[in-house]
Amino acid sequence: MPRTRRIAIVGERDLAKRAHAGIEASLALFGRDFGGGLVYDWISTALVTPDTIDRVLGDATGVWCAPGSPYSSTAGALLAIQHARQRKKAFLGTCGGFQYALMEFAQNVLGRDAAHQETEPSAPEPLIAKLSCSLLGAKARVIATAQHGFAEILGGSSTAITGSTWRFRPSLKVLIWSLPHMTRPVRSERSGWQIIRSLLALCFNRNEGP
């Protein structure tokens, strides 16, 4: 009998949010189509602390950092992501969860400042900055030119995206915040952490104007 695998969904559950309802619906479909063997539970970011992390996440096979930032606890969200990375667990970050994965990697692996203007609006050099013109609820197309290096990561010259309020680093010409919403898949031979490293390299190792 196959062992049961547990997915810990990190975030503040709110089924009024379409993304949260969609997460539960997708996991229910997986259980229906593949015969079970998967359980999930929501873990509020406020419950993830250095003293509790082994109890709340220790037996999780994977960690899903859900949309819905700002979270109740920024530190809790980042700690959950760090736990998944260091324990080599399956990890998925969608929308705000992906932004926080960038923040965690930049801060704990690269030793860089990783401010998010959502929680630190006066940060002089935020990693995640607010768009001057929000595309929330809209659709747009990102053009990835060869000079940015983003085209290689993207695997093509452009991609359709769904709207968002946030973008990655004010100095970049491409809207890297769009990655979790891309309709064109990222090259599958690269791990998620390799993609994150590549995205951050674009930010910290290139000197591009606005």
Q: Are 49 and 151 in the same domain?
A: no
Looking at the structure, do residues 70 and 29 belong to the same domain, yes or no?
Answer: yes
Same domain, 110 and 83: no
What tokens does 133 get? 């013109």
Same domain? 194 vs 115: yes
If you average pLDDT over every residue of the chain, what do you get? Answer: 75
* pTM of the entire predicted model: 0.73
Measured in whole angstroms, the distance separating CA 33 from the mean position of its chain's CA atoms is 26
Domain that holds residue 36: 1-94
pLDDT greater at residue 4 or residue 21: 21
Give residue 208's pLDDT band: very low, low, confident or very high (50, 70, 90): very low
- CA 119/CA 20 separation, integer angstroms: 21
CATH of the domain at 17: 3.40.50.880
Of the residues 75, 94, 113, which one is the last residue of a structural domain?
94
pLDDT confidence of residue 32? 81
Amino acid at 176: I
Residues 116 and 146 in one domain: yes
Place of tokens 């929000």: 134
Q: How many domains does the structure of the chain reveal?
A: 2
What percentage of residues in the chain have a pLDDT greater than 90? 34
Which residue bears the tokens 């009024």?
Answer: 16
Helix (H, G, I), strand (E, B) or coil at 5: strand
Q: Based on the domain organization, do 134 and 163 belong to the same domain?
A: yes
Domain end point (choices 94, 124, 150)? 94
Residues 106 and 196 in one domain: yes
| Statement to judge: residues 149 and 170 lie in one domain | yes
**33-37, 82-86, 97-101, 173-177 — which is least confidently predicted?**
173-177
Shared-domain flag, residues 132 and 182: yes
Give the three-class secondary structure for 167.
strand
Do 71 and 47 share a domain, yes or no? Answer: yes
Question: Are 104 and 154 in the same domain?
Answer: yes
Of 94, 125, 144, the last residue of a domain is: 94
More confidently predicted of 30 and 52: 52
